[in-house]
Chains A and B, each alone.
Chain A
């Protein structure tokens, strides 16, 4: 799922989870994270995961999409599990539950809370410089995303890339990304000029709730 889609669900969604204060959601995430990190009992971890799945089922957010997103870190977990000698089922389940608890909680958070609100909550403990970069990155994502979509459409219309022509395909992607980099750098210059004209003083103030 693209960041733009995630942002759409987070901003325009209207479930009970959308109405929960951001700080409370972040606090819950922190509790789940600490529990997943330090609990070694698979049954307790299983109960936490089942609880998260229940929230997902009845929250009204797109269930299948959220579930799919939450499975992604399992790819990395499997890489690790393949490297363990004499792996037992409890250990494997322990790790899988830990991974799934954390990823599911983050997936639920991101589908019910807009990035702006998360960054605003994080601005309490992150330095100004990082908050600044986070807000600007978030803004940039949407500005340059359209350029990338158009470029990908153009490449597809002109024959696209194929596994049977690896060098040609890599060169095409290289040129595409090269063009994308140049366009993005130009955009960043314009963005900065625009911000300066509107009184930007290298600090971001969040007032939107």
Chain B
């Protein structure tokens, strides 16, 4: 799960409030749809999937870096692209209540992971219909969804932190010295002013998106492979033991087969 691994207090107010507003609007529309289509029976399945996401995080993964699986794409595959958002929101909320942090970013987190689950669902549906290879479809769909959601995360973090100087009172370790020098040179030496400005820029605290991106990709790549492989194995197992759970995809695949035969 590509959480927005950013603690509270870093992202600006407008950004995380926007996250809550967007997810709120989505839930209002979806709640109306659930009532209209009498899908209340799905509540227990949503709850179970949220509980599954939380509990499977405690399964130890044999890898030197502590990593946990989260099953967001699997949740999307089982619940569908819209209901998965409810399970994801619930698991995010409960994670906050076990001091995981990030109460302000729940909305944004739910959006990112929900999009990950939806993309995973559609990618799996498409690939399974076309290739009929269950492990390949689940692996590729998960990998693709994780890459997209990581980029979304980076985009959100960049939008919120490119103006990092608003975060702290002390943006620059030598701010006073630079400002003093700047004012002295201001009148006579325009070139020197530029040099001082450059010096100031060099020591100014700035969020380095490239470094953040590389950190996310180093840890992310390992995580993507682990998560994708595991989702592949899980979906393959479900297909072998209880194919009913994946019946909606089987139906689509059969229709595609019949179409191909007819053509």
Contacts and interface: CB of A to CB of B under 8 A. Distances in A.
Contact of B51 (A106, A141, A174): A141
A163 interface: yes
B172 A86 contact: yes
9 contacts: A98-B7, A98-B9, A102-B7, A103-B99, A103-B101, A110-B97, A118-B97, A137-B91, A162-B62
Nearest to A30: B103
Interface residues of A, number: 81
A20 B6 CA distance: 31
Contact of B207 (A76, A83, A141, A166): A83
Contact of A106 (B7, B46, B56, B99): B99
B177 interface: no
A85 B208 contact: yes
B205 A85 contact: yes
A37 B202 CA distance: 28
Given A90-B168, A91-B170, A192 B63 contact: no
A139 interface: yes
B83 to A, nearest CB: 10
A41 B170 CA distance: 10
A136 B101 contact: no
In terms of DSSP, what is the predominant structure of the interface of chain A? helix
Interface residues of B, number: 85
A191 interface: yes
B10 to A, nearest CB: 6
Given A76-B6, A94-B167, 19 more contacts: A37-B9, A37-B13, A76-B101, A77-B7, A79-B215, A82-B215, A90-B170, A95-B9, A98-B8, A110-B98, A136-B47, A137-B48, A138-B94, A140-B48, A148-B56, A163-B64, A177-B69, A181-B78, A202-B43
Interface string A66-101: 000110110011011011111110110011001100
Specify the main secondary structure of chain B where it touches its partner: helix
B212 interface: yes
Interface of A: 1-3, 6, 33, 36-37, 40-41, 69-70, 72-73, 76-77, 79-80, 82-88, 90-91, 94-95, 98-99, 102-104, 106-107, 109-110, 115, 118, 127, 129-130, 132-134, 136-141, 144-145, 148, 152, 161-163, 166, 169-171, 173-182, 184-185, 187-189, 191-192, 195, 202
A185 B48 contact: yes
A200 to B, nearest CB: 9
